Amino acid sequence: MTRSRLATIAGLIFVTVYFAAVLILADALSPMHWAVQFAYFVVAGIAWVWPVLLLIKWAVKQPV
C-alpha cells in the first residue's frame, strides 16, 4: 500500500473521530456562556490542522 493511500485512510479516520469527539464535547459545553463556546470552537476548528499537516508531509516524503 502506498504512503498516499495509507495517509488518505488514516486522515479520513482521524477527521471522523476528531469531529465526533468535538461535537460530543460541544454538547457538554452548550449550557455555558457563549464566549466559552466561541473560544472552544475556534480552538477545535484549528487544532485538527496540525496532525493532518504532519500526515500530509509524511505522505509526500520520498522513501529512501
In this predicted structure, what is the pLDDT of residue 1? 82
In this predicted structure, what is the pLDDT of residue 62? 77
Tens of pLDDT, residue by residue over 7-40, are 999 999 999 999 999 999 999 999 999 999 999 9
pLDDT band at 64 (very low <50, low <70, confident <90, very high): low
Q: Whole-prediction pTM value?
A: 0.82
Cα dihedral angle (6, 7, 12, 18), rounded to 10 degrees? 120
Distance (Å, whole) CA 38 – CA 59:
33
